[in-house]
Amino acid sequence: MTGEPFWRAKPLAALSAEEWESLCDGCGKCCTIKLQDEDTDEILYTDVVCHLLDTHSCRCSRYKDRARLVPDCVKVTPDNIADLGFMPSTCAYRLLAEGKDLPDWHPLVSGRRDSVHRAGMSVRHRVFSEEEIEEEDLPGHIVDWVR
């Protein structure tokens, strides 16, 4: 045993399902509606989230059924994370795939489930459900704090 936390000691592909799921910091940023600039292909984040996101806990309210209920919901896996350029730069999956470490505010590092919210790194109190916003109004909801 190295004494290193599992996310440093193992490659992503070697993580158990439980370890993989625990990497999610609960920020909810991946659940924001994203737009893509037609000219530059840049991903633009909005302050509008999937209707399944519980905006207080920043967790999916129907996690096990999300793929059926939201067909374009992407399941993040060790096999596809390197190709998911739309994932926020603060995402633990993305950070680890890029060879970086988890930030101090990540619950696995801090030992506190709410540390992501306390650090202001979640979407809590900053977003609207997609049920409240018309699709044509999405460009007016582009934000830069999600990145």
pLDDT digits (tens, 9 = 90+) for 59-118: 999 999 999 999 999 999 999 999 999 999 999 999 999 999 999 999 999 999 999 999
- The pLDDT tens digits of the residues spanning 22-63 come to 999 999 999 999 999 999 999 999 999 999 999 999 999 999
CB proximity list for 78: less than 8 A, separation 6 or greater: 11, 12, 13, 15, 20
DSSP category for residue 12: G
The model's pTM is 0.91
Tell me how far apart the alpha carbons of residues 114 and 65 are, in angstroms, rounded to a whole number: 25
The helix/strand/coil state of 18 is: helix
- At 3 the pLDDT is 86
pLDDT of residue 2: 62
